[in-house]
Structure 1
C-alpha cells in the first residue's frame, strides 16, 4: 500500500451548534495545530534505586487545538459565518463551569471516523498590521477522553 502525505488544509473541523447533533464547519481557517501533549502531568519516580536513570509515570493526558484564520463577516449584517460564530459563543464571558464545555470534531477526508472532543474554548488575539486582513484565533482544550464516531 502506498502512503500519501496529508495536507493540513484538507482537515475538517466542526463545532456542535446549540442544537445537539448538528455540526457547523469552522470557516476561513489558515492554520490548524493539534498538540496531543498539552496538559500532560508527570509523576517523577526516580529514587536511589533507579541507578541514575530517570523514571516517571504519566498521571494526566490532555490535548489542545489551535485554530487561526482571517476575520470575515457578512457584508450586510456584520456577523461572522455560523461555525466561527458558534466558536465565539462557546468562548463567551458567561461560559463558566459546566457551561464552558462544548463539543468539537475533526478528521481528514480520508479518515473513516471523526475524533470528538468535549472542550473549553478561549479566543486568541484579533487584528493585524496596516496591509493585513484581520486575524482571528481560538484555542480548543480537550476536557475528558476523546470519543469517535463513524463518518456518515
Structure 2
C-alpha cells in the first residue's frame, strides 16, 4: 500500500507566450483542485435492448485545474507567475488565448503538460485577511508529458 502524498508538494508553472519553453512558477498557492470530469460530454445509447438500464458513450473528455492562494508582491513587485496570468494571458483572445501550463508533484520525474486557456479568479479579502488570488486552467486536447530536466 502506498503512502499519501502532501498537497503542498505540487508544482504549477505557466509558459511565457513570448518565450517558448520558458515556464514561470506560480507561487503563494495554498489550494488546488483537479477536476478530470469537467466538460465531459456523453451520448445516450439506451435502446430497447438495454432492458430498462441506462447506457451511454463518452463523446468528449475535459479537465480543469483551479489554483488559489494569496496575491503576492514583494516591495511592490508582483509575483511573476500571478502577474503573467493577470496582466498578459488573461487578455489574450481567440487562438492566442491558448497557452501551456505544466504540473507535477515533487516526487514525480515527469511533468504533465496541458494546452489550455486560463480564467483569472476572484481577488479579495477582509479587514484582517491577506488578499486572495486564483486562476482556473481548462485543458484543450489531450495532456502530454515531459521529463523533469534538472539544470546545474
TM-score by length of 1: 0.92
- Partners of 2:143 and 2:59 lie apart in 1 by 17
Equivalent residue number for residue 53 of structure 2: 53
Equivalent residue number for residue 28 of structure 1: 28
Equivalent residue number for residue 125 of structure 1: 122
- Partners of 1:125 and 1:16 lie apart in 2 by 22
Q: Unaligned 5+ residue runs, structure 2?
A: none
Q: Unaligned 5+ residue runs, structure 1?
A: none
Alignment of 1:142 onto 2:151: no
Post-superposition offset of 1:79: 3.6
Map of 1:42-121 to 2, 5 A cutoff? 42-75=42-75, 78-88=76-86, 89-92=88-91, 95-121=92-118
Post-superposition offset of 1:3: 1.6
Alignment of 1:39 onto 2:36: no
Over 6 Å off, 4+ runs: none
Post-superposition offset of 1:98: 0.4
TM-score by length of 2: 0.92
- Partners of 2:99 and 2:56 lie apart in 1 by 32
Equivalent residue number for residue 8 of structure 1: 7
Aligned residues: 147
